Amino acid sequence: MPVLPLRMAVCGALALLLASCSSTRAPQPVAPVKAGGAISGPGDYSRPHKDGAPWWDVDVSRIQDAVPMPHYGPVKASPYTVFGKQYYPISDARRYQAVGTASWYGTKFHGQATANGEAYDLYGMTAAHKTLPLPSYVRVTNLDNQRSVILRVNDRGPFYSDRIIDLSFAAAKKLGYAESGTARVKVEGIDPHEWWARQGRPVPLVLAAPQQAAKVQTVAQPVAQPLEQYSPPPQQHAAAVLPVQIDAKKNASVAASGLYLQVAAFANPDAAELLKAKLSDTVAAPVFISSVVHNQQILHRVRLGPIASRGEAEQLQDSVRLANLGQPRLVKAD
């Protein structure tokens, strides 16, 4: 056979082989990143004070969804308390469903240990949830555009506002809401055994230790629990201490310490820091956070001042309102 036809025949055979492999290849499970392990991003990563999007760019279309894998060890599902509120995780995520608001978290938490002990990677396909067992898997669908992703739940949160789940930056980017910050989503728990059965394949044992692999056929699966009806918790994001109002008619004289405006008060310190940063970019007056204990809860009050005159205070109120950053009220210094 001439050399050229022979080469073409060999290349053709290789192409057919590669096409066959790529079309039948099973999803590849990826081991979770342990705390202190390698994560995406620059080697000299310096964590910023404020959370935000990464400054290094990764093509998220190349990032694969998390691959649901059965968990044969204990799950993290003990009751816990955050900001004075107690949470009671469920032990089985397979039949969980909820609809609500999703947010995302990024650079401030990149590389830090999650509640599950794994390292958070903002380009990983993971999520934080208040009551799902750790670890577990969920499908999250953006109800505005019907995009969906499969994520590994390995962290706790979010603990403010009425948001039901916090996604990694990569997941939010793939769902199309990284720029807007939040989206209305549907969250559905996944049974890994059922998921693999739908792929027409047995559950792979590539991540199981030998002793765990031996248990696969003997471990009893927990009985499916009734659907959890999720009720958003009372607002924690903007639960404000009612400030002492200054009556302009009764208080003609300004205190020696000056006037102050309180824009909002938050249970979550990160939310207070975020508002403080936005106000600092909007107004010329000093912006600070004053924390107090109210009803056995720490609240972080975002304030402006001291302000020299009522006229200046009114101008600041207008500026804050026009910027849609809140409804500031005059308060006494304390």
Q: What pLDDT shows up at residue 219?
A: 36
Alpha helices of 205-297 — where are they, by DSSP H? 210-215, 269-280
Q: Is the pLDDT of residue 124 over 70?
A: yes
pLDDT per position as a tens digit, 49-108: 778 888 888 899 999 999 999 988 888 888 888 777 788 999 899 999 999 999 999 888
Mean pLDDT across the stretch 299-325?
Answer: 89
Identify the band that residue 174 occupies on the pLDDT scale cut at 50, 70 and 90: very high
Residue 276, C-beta contacts closer than 8 angstroms, at least 6 positions apart:
287, 288, 289, 302
Residue pair 52/108 in contact (Cβ under 8 Å)? The answer is yes
DSSP character at residue 34: B
Residue pair 73/161 in contact (Cβ under 8 Å)? The answer is no
Task: Rank 95-99, 215-219, 222-226 by mean pLDDT and report only the highest.
Answer: 95-99
- Tell me the pLDDT of the chain averaged across its residues: 76
Identify the band that residue 136 occupies on the pLDDT scale cut at 50, 70 and 90: very high
Q: Is the pLDDT of residue 19 over 60?
A: no
Identify the band that residue 216 occupies on the pLDDT scale cut at 50, 70 and 90: very low
Q: Is the pLDDT of residue 208 over 70?
A: no
Tell me how crowded residue 120 is: count the other CB atoms within 10 A of its CB. Answer: 24
pTM recorded for the entire structure: 0.58
Mean pLDDT across the stretch 119-142?
Answer: 95
Q: Is the pLDDT of residue 286 over 60?
A: yes
Mean pLDDT across the stretch 102-121?
Answer: 90
Mean pLDDT across the stretch 294-306?
Answer: 77
Q: Of 248, 242, 257, which is closest to residue 314 (Cα–Cα)?
A: 248
Q: What pLDDT shows up at residue 25?
A: 58
